C-alpha cells in the first residue's frame, strides 16, 4: 500500500477526553482508505484509534454533542498543512496544530488547538471492501 488516510465523513466519534492540557478524540471506528500506485481501485478498512493533542485546549464556546456521533467531515491542521475531510496515516507533528470536526445532522463542531498532534491507532486495520472507479 502506498498511501493510507482516515476518511472523516462516516467515522464515529465515541469520546472527547480532556486530561490537563491533553485532548483525545476517540474514533471508533475510523474508516481508512488505502491506495496503491498504478491502481485505479482503492480499498476501505476500519480501525479504532485516537487523535491526541498535547499542549492543547478544547474550545469551550463549542458545545459538545451527546456522544457517540457520526463525523460529517472537517479540518485537521498541522503547521502549514490543513487536511480536509481526512487524516493522513501516520500523523505525528509538533507546532501549531488544530482541528474543527463537524458532527453529522448538527451544527456542532469539535474544535481543538494545541502544540502537537499524534494519531494513535489500535490493533490492525480490518478489511471492509474494494472501491472501484465509476
For the stretch 127-131, contacts whose Cβ atoms lie closer than 8 Å and that sit 24 or more positions apart, written own/partner, are 127/43, 127/45, 128/31, 128/43, 128/44, 128/45, 128/46, 129/43, 129/44, 130/41, 130/42, 130/43, 130/44, 131/33, 131/41, 131/42, 131/43, 131/44
- The Cα 17–Cα 58 span in angstroms is 9
pLDDT recorded at residue 98: 98
Contact 53, 124 (CB under 8 A): no
Contact 120, 39 (CB under 8 A): no
pLDDT at 64 over 90: no
Query: Would you place residue 40 in the very low, low, confident or very high pLDDT band (cuts 50, 70, 90)?
Result: confident
pLDDT recorded at residue 2: 86
Query: Would you place residue 18 in the very low, low, confident or very high pLDDT band (cuts 50, 70, 90)?
Result: very high
Query: Would you place residue 122 in the very low, low, confident or very high pLDDT band (cuts 50, 70, 90)?
Result: very high
pLDDT at 1 over 60: no
Query: Would you place residue 60 in the very low, low, confident or very high pLDDT band (cuts 50, 70, 90)?
Result: confident
- Angle in degrees, CA 129, 16, 47, rounded to 5: 20
pLDDT recorded at residue 88: 97
Give the alpha-carbon dihedral of 38, 44, 48, 50, to 10 degrees.
50
- The Cα 134–Cα 124 span in angstroms is 29
pLDDT at 125 over 70: yes
For all residues of the chain together, what is the average pLDDT? 95
- Residue 131 β-bridge partners: 42
Query: Would you place residue 133 in the very low, low, confident or very high pLDDT band (cuts 50, 70, 90)?
Result: confident
Amino acid at each position: 500500500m502506498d498511501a493510507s488516510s482516515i476518511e472523516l465523513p462516516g467515522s464515529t466519534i465515541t469520546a472527547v477526553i480532556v486530561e490537563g492540557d491533553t485532548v483525545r478524540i476517540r474514533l471508533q471506528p475510523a474508516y481508512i482508505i488505502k491506495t496503491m500506485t498504478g491502481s485505479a481501485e482503492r480499498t476501505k478498512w476500519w480501525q479504532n484509534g485516537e487523535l491526541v493533542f498535547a499542549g492543547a485546549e478544547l474550545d469551550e464556546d463549542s458545545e459538545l454533542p451527546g456522544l457517540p456521533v457520526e463525523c460529517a467531515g472537517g479540518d485537521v491542521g498541522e503547521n502549514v498543512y490543513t487536511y480536509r475531510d481526512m487524516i493522513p496515516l501516520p500523523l505525528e507533528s509538533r507546532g501549531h496544530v488544530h482541528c474543527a470536526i463537524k458532527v453529522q445532522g448538527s451544527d456542532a463542531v469539535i474544535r481543538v488547538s494545541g502544540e502537537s498532534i499524534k494519531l494513535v491507532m489500535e490493533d490492525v486495520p480490518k478489511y471492509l471492501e474494494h472501491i472501484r472507479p465509476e
